[in-house]
Structure 1
Amino acid sequence: MTKRFPHTGKRLLGSILLTIMIVVFLFPIYWNLITALKPSTELLDYPPQLFPFHPTFEQLQKLFAAGDGVFLTYCKNTLIMSISTIVLVVLLSIYCAYGLAILPFKGSRLFFLLVLSVFMIPFQSLLVPLYDQLTKMRLFNTKLGIILIYSTFFLPFCVFMLKNSFSQLPIALRESAKIDGASDRFILWKIYVPLSIPSIISCIVYLFIETWNDFVLSFVFSSSDSVKTIQVGIMNFGKQRFQSDWGIINAGTLVSIIPTILLFLFLQKYYLQGLTTGAIKE
């Protein structure tokens, strides 16, 4: 008993610490939920109530009714830009990673370092040059312009993930397929891509979270409701002359976090597997 007690005590202490961490991380989500369900008369109660006495969908109704339903336009814009970015970045990353990992060429290591160098540049330092460039190209305040910016900043991470994932596959797979007369395109899409699904899903989850939750880039490079994303829309809804409408802000936030939570819950198995297999440094 005495020998097992310290082990039991450590487990108990670990469970307590883990419970505290769970509460700390989940409390903001819980607070967002109950605030979105409170009537306007209870939003600024002091002391604040941990449970809504009169739960209602008043804030959600205000959210979807504001501006003749413009919030749905924000959601549609964000979804279009997120999906477009995912498709573009994943396709480019697959081809680029395959070339760097399996078909090395003269200067490929330097090229890979140049791709990774984008990580070292804070995107905030490039906002003014990008603003000028998009204006000259007539892509300012367009979905295409924002999609191209998203792709530029998020592509290096996906190339890094997939290159390492492809590099870990046995080279004998390609050699055997080559002996049988298979082309590199066939080998890529029929062998390497299916075996790297976890890493590809990790890239998809990463891209969706980054684009869906982006605020700064969308705020800077959009000026009309037809282009603004959900995060910028929530901020616009919350602005009043002398105060913020916390009810509609929390309702919009609640709606915005649902897709990312659901996506991660359904794909977390592949996401974690992809991170462990595709993020190993050579």
Structure 2
Amino acid sequence: MAVDITDRAFISGLIEKEKAASRLGGRWLVVPIIVLAIAYLTPLYYLFVTIFKSSQEYARKGVLELPDSLAPFIDNVVQAWTIAHLGEAALNSFSYALVGAALSVAFAAAAAYGMTRLTLIGSNGWFMLIFTGTLFPFQMYLVPLLFGYQRVGLINTWFGMLLVYVAMCIPFPLLVLRNSFSAITREVDEAARIEGASEWRVFISMIVPNAIGPMIALFLLQFTFIWNDLLFSSILANGIEVRSIMVALQSLQGTYSTLGPNVVITATLISSIPTVLLFIALRKYFMAGLQLGSK
């Protein structure tokens, strides 16, 4: 039997069936959303109930039970701060991350400008040579670096760690900024050159301001990478004077293994504060950089 598709009753029936199917599908979607929310929130709940427990209370109670009071938190902070020397380690990590991320983005920006704006012989080859280093796992560089650093005396030195981080963090910003600079119209810098601007002035005054969003986003990513690094810092700089905050956290479970999880988790919370605050302070530029990079 033929169906009249212009019949209002027929069309209304189709719409109602579609709405019913959508409601049924929506109900089924609630289940995985709830499961994912529980899986995400449970570790956070465990963190916040643990940092307010003393070692004795943690051993006596269940891991997910609420603490008796908030007072043990201060003692946990003091123990984590003094025993693991978190203050010195945090300053070391902050200096590594701040200087390393800034220099890597600056060097990558200068290299990207040269590859996109200057007449360089084999610029694509230079780019591939620099970027190819990221195709291999970082672990394969550890042994050559260790022997090389031992020969030149860079083990357990601030400059040695900074050198590693800057070298590791240049390729990815170079890839992103090379594409960002290529998207900037050449009329901008050509007009500046007509006015007598040097290449340095064109780079600083015309190109960098047009790519400030991606550069800040890259700075945040590289800062977080350096701050969270444990692999290189534990091998090349494990002395108390130069060790990073991640190595200090590791020491709480090694040399000071008698400490309870309440102290270790409190130290972990402290170590996450700087990166969170930095992201909050620069989130506007970070989101703008991501939007520009997606175009």
How much has 1:75 moved relative to structure 2? 0.8
Secondary structure of residue in 2 paired with 1:44: helix
Measured at CA, do residues 53 and 132 of structure 1 come closer, stay the same or move farther in structure 2, by a change above 3 Å?
A: same
Q: Which runs of 5+ in 2 are unaligned?
A: 1-14
Contact 2:101-2:169 at 8 Å conserved across structures: no
Q: 1:66 aligns with which of 75, 78, 83?
A: 83
Counterpart of 2:114? 99
Paired residue for 2:278, among 260, 263, 271?
Answer: 263
How far apart are residue 267 of structure 1 and its match? 2.8
Kindly, what percent of the aligned residue pairs are identical?
26
Displacement of 1:46 after TM fit? 5.8
- CA gap of 1:241–1:270, structure 2 versus 1, over 3 A, is closer
Structure 2 residue 103 is matched with structure 1 residue 88: yes
Q: Does the aligned pair in 2 maintain the 1:39–1:54 contact within 8 Å?
A: no
CA RMSD across the alignment: 2.3
Aligned mate of 2:269, from 240, 245, 254: 254
Deviation at 1:175, TM superposition (A): 1.4
Structure 1 18/202 Cα, relative in aligned 2: closer, same or farther at 3 Å? farther
- What SS class does the counterpart of residue 216 from structure 2 fall into? helix
The structural deviation recorded for 1:41 is 1.5
Residues 143/52 of structure 1: CA separation in 2 closer, same or farther (3 Å cut): same
**Structure 1 residues 197, 242: CA separation in 2 closer, same or farther (over 3 Å shift)?**
closer
Whole-Å separation in 1 of the counterparts to 2:26 and 2:108: 43
Pick from 90, 98, 108 the counterpart of residue 75 of structure 1.
Answer: 90
Match of 1:184 among 195, 199, 211: 199
In structure 1, the partner of 2:180 is: 165
Tell me if structure 2 keeps the 8 A contact 1:32–1:253: no
Cα distance between partner residues in 2 of 1:135 and 1:194: 42
Match of 1:152 in 2: 167
CA distance in 2, matches of 1:196, 1:13: 44
Normalised to the residue count of structure 2, the TM-score between the two structures is 0.85
1:239-282 superposed Cα distances (whole Å, 9 cap, x missing partner): 257756312211110001112222223333432432343477xx
The within-5 A match list for 1:1-282 is 2=16, 3-10=18-25, 17-18=32-33, 20-45=35-60, 47-55=62-70, 56-57=72-73, 58-66=75-83, 70-240=85-255, 245-278=260-293
Q: Secondary structure at the match of 2:241?
A: coil
Structure 1: any 5+ residue segments left out of the alignment? none
Check the 8 A contact 2:238/2:247 in 1, yes or no.
Answer: no
CA distance in 2, matches of 1:167, 1:27: 45
SS of match in other structure, 1:181: coil
Q: Normalising by structure 1, report the TM-score.
A: 0.89
- The 1:193–1:250 alpha-carbon spacing in structure 2 relative to 1, beyond 3 Å, is same
Q: Distance in 1 between matches of 2:91 and 2:81?
A: 13
**Contact 1:160–1:279 (8 Å) recurs in 2:** no
Give 1:14 deviation, angstroms.
5.0
8 Å Cα contact 2:50-2:63 kept in structure 1: no
Q: Residue by residue, what CA displacement relative to the aligned partner does 1:212-254 show, whole Å, maximum 9, x if unpaired?
A: 1111110000131000111110111232577563122111100
CA distance in 2, matches of 1:192, 1:175: 11
> Which deviates the most, 268-277 or 171-180?
268-277
Q: Which amino acid aligns with 2:83?
A: A
Structure 1 residue 112: deviation in Å? 0.3
Q: Does the 8 Å CA contact 2:54/2:76 hold for their aligned counterparts?
A: yes
Q: How many residue pairs get matched? A: 278
Q: Give the distance between the partners of 2:294 and 2:147, measured in 1 at CA.
A: 35
What is the CA-CA distance between 1:24 and the residue it aligns to? 2.6
Compared CA separation, residues 121 and 99, structure 1 to 2 (3 A): same
Q: Which deviates more, 48-57 or 227-236? A: 48-57
Out of 215-224 and 42-51, give the one that drifted further. Answer: 42-51
One-letter amino acid of the counterpart of residue 63, structure 1: A
Measure, in 2, the Cα distance between the counterparts of 1:82 and 1:185.
26
